[in-house]
Chain A
Amino acid sequence: ILNVEQSPQSLHVQEGDSTNFTCSFPSSNFYALHWYRWETAKSPEALFVMTLNGDEKKKGRISATLNTKEGYSYLYIKGSQPEDSATYLCALLNFGNEKLTFGTGTRLTIIP
């Protein structure tokens, strides 16, 4: 059983502040890491798919980095806005496996 861990479990951030959170995973047999944003009453939305060690991806104010050797990925949000409030999920895909293993998510609340 793969253990994908996300921390913190929940986070309150003042509007305008920047924040980051972590996804940790076993580094052996790594193939890809996915990040999703899940707003309440909506469907999870893909943010990034990352495959290479040292990858850094950016989408607007959100960016992510990947370290496959030590088994972690960081998600950064710059200048948080109320619409950033959501649960952020990471998911690991290993070689030879079609199954994405999800973490339990980081629930982010932006305080206006």
Chain B
Amino acid sequence: ETGVTQTPRHLVMGMTNKKSLKCEQHLGHNAMYWYKQSAKKPLELMFVYNFKEQTENNSVPSRFSPECPNSSHLFLHLHTLQPEDSALYLCASSQDAGRNTIYFGEGSWLTVV
């Protein structure tokens, strides 16, 4: 138990659906992240929020829309995704963005059909 909880753990959605991934951290951290893990590729940073402000958008398509209502919660809204977006999406948090240790959730497996 890392203190970072993601829901749902598994999601299957059609290309026209709208769904959201949710992340909650109980560690009192100020920074939260979304990462994407595709097969045979390194973990890829998507978004960084530091003190609720988005500080990094790693050229992510607009069909992925993050939301950080407070420093404990992070959402990833999904709309009109493509089959190639199927992947494991990991949420993470750290004390501040930068050199601190990052704590990951267990991930949400997304399949786009």
Give chain A's interface residues, CB within 8 Å of chain B: 4, 31-32, 34, 36, 41-46, 49, 51, 89, 91, 93, 98-105
Give chain B's interface residues, CB within 8 Å of chain A: 2, 4, 31, 40-45, 48, 50, 55-56, 58, 90, 97-107
State the majority secondary structure of interface residues on B.
loop
Q: Which residues of A contact B43 (CB under 8 A)?
A: 44, 89, 91, 102
A93/B42 in contact, CB under 8 A: no
Q: Which residues of A contact B107 (CB under 8 A)?
A: 43
B42/A43 in contact, CB under 8 A: no
Q: Which residues of A contact B90 (CB under 8 A)?
A: 43-44
Query: For residue A9, which residue of chain B has the nearest CB?
Result: B40
Q: Which residues of B contact A32 (CB under 8 A)?
A: 99
Q: Which of A41, A46, A51 contacts B102 (CB 8 A)?
A: A46
Q: Which residues of A contact B41 (CB under 8 A)?
A: 104
A99/B42 in contact, CB under 8 A: no
Query: For residue B100, which residue of chain A has the nearest CB?
Result: A49
B42/A98 in contact, CB under 8 A: no
Most buried by A among B2, B41, B101, B105: B101
Q: Which residues of A contact B97 (CB under 8 A)?
A: 98
List 9 additional contacts besides A36-B104, A100-B102; criterion CB under 8 Å. Answer: A4-B42, A32-B99, A43-B90, A43-B105, A98-B56, A99-B58, A100-B45, A102-B44, A104-B41
A46 to B103, CA, bound (A): 7
